[in-house]
């Protein structure tokens, strides 16, 4: 499940579990640092395309944009090589043009 929010959202989730008597350990990424996991039993090409979409959609400026990529050792080298090539191939430009992959990113 993916929730948008901060500490209040995390407390609400914990409170809901407690109220129904089903408290479980959970990890909440509520600060906009969505992790992406790549396991060795996946298609590396599919993973590269999925991670690129998650990381660069809307120029990476969404609350669920992938910020951390955790890759299992068995596919790390292949994934890194292909992901770097994919990122380098993205075309920066005017988001209104059809050949633009990534629009401008604000700096202030």
Largest CA distance in the chain: 53
Q: Hey, which bits of 1-108 come out as E strands?
A: 34-38, 66-71
19 catalytic per annotation: no
Is-catalytic flag, 27?
no
User: In this structure, are residues 66 and 54 in contact, taking their beta carbons and an 8 Å threshold?
Assistant: yes
Q: DSSP code of 91?
A: P
* Active-site residue identified among 19, 20, 29, 81: 29
| Residues noted as catalytic | 29, 63
């Amino acid at each position: 499940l993916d929730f948008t929010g901060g500490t209040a959202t995390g407390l609400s989730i914990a409170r809901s579990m407690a109220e129904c008597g089903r408290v479980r350990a959970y990890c909440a990424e509520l600060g906009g640092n969505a992790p992406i996991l790549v396991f060795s039993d996946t298609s590396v090409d599919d993973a590269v395309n999925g991670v690129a979409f998650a990381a660069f959609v809307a120029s990476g400026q969404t609350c669920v944009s992938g910020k951390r990529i955790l890759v299992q050792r068995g596919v790390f080298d292949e994934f890194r090589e292909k992901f770097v090539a994919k990122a380098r191939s993205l075309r920066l430009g005017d988001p209104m043009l059809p050949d633009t992959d990534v629009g401008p990113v604000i700096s202030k």
